[in-house]
Homo-oligomer: A and B are copies of this chain.
Amino acid sequence: MMNGTLNTYLKHRSIRSYKDKMIKKNDLELVIKSAQAAPSSINGQQVSIIAITDKEKKATITELCGNQLWIDEAPVFLLFVADFYRAKLAADKNNVPFGITDGLEASLVASVDVGLSMGNAIGTAESLGYGTVCIGGARSNPTKMVELLNLPEYVYPICGLCIGYPKDESTLKPRLPKEAVYHEETYNKELRPLIDQYDKTMSAYMKERTNGENDRNWSEGISNFYKTNYSPHTRNEMKKQGFKNE
């Protein structure tokens, strides 16, 4: 059975080129409303969203995220942050100690919550005809991002989201074969043939998309990206904001 929700999910693709046109105010309201409606751990709602539409500020954010020019182009940039600041206020209000941000658990909880909330924002925006792209580069310069947006203690930038009217249609990117990510009852470790198969699919996809100029396959791409911990500052930066990750 196909329905609107499923249709939205299955045609998802990232959009990195936007028209110079603000999204409708009421649509942004719905995006935020749906982001808030997502489930969260213990109903703690460990996510906040900062919307940036100011062009100068957005230009700064483009730089802070590693010069991803589609942030400049998109009329709205939403920053999703891990947020235990409200939980700290709650602890103060009730005069009890506050220990959750000592542990790595807090970072996992908030990151999952960000994914759930941002996922709803994406689905809603796309169902209303907009394009989106997630910006993991929002974690590249956390100190400057914290200063720019006045983020308090126990708040940390996790992921950005561009929203706008798509300028170009982009193509649907093939995913790993289902058998490589879905397991029944127990994890099947024999994945190499499936990775080989996907490498062929992605190589052909890239070749077609770049008119023959680039046929890099999946495992080449991600193994190059994951050679090292490309973000060695994260632990210290999170500590500055009160996340000890012990």
Contact = CB atoms under 8 A, between A and B. Distances in A.
B105 A115 contact: no
B181 A49 contact: yes
A17 interface: no
Interface residues of A, number: 123
Of A39, A41, A52, chain B has the most CB atoms within 10 Å of the CB of A39
A117 B47 CA distance: 17
29 contacts: A1-B30, A4-B4, A6-B128, A42-B222, A42-B225, A44-B222, A44-B226, A45-B176, A48-B181, A48-B187, A51-B182, A53-B185, A83-B181, A86-B191, A90-B223, A93-B195, A96-B227, A97-B228, A102-B228, A103-B229, A103-B231, A104-B238, A105-B139, A112-B112, A116-B116, A119-B120, A119-B123, A149-B185, A235-B245
A22 interface: no
Interface in A105-142: 105-109, 111-120, 122-124, 126-128, 133-134, 136, 139
A91 interface: yes
A218 B90 contact: yes
Contacts of A225: 42, 44, 100
Nearest to A224: B96
Contacts of A163: none
Contacts of A49: 181-183
Given A37-B12, A96-B227, A57 B103 contact: no
A149 B183 CA distance: 10
Contacts of A93: 192, 195-196, 219, 223
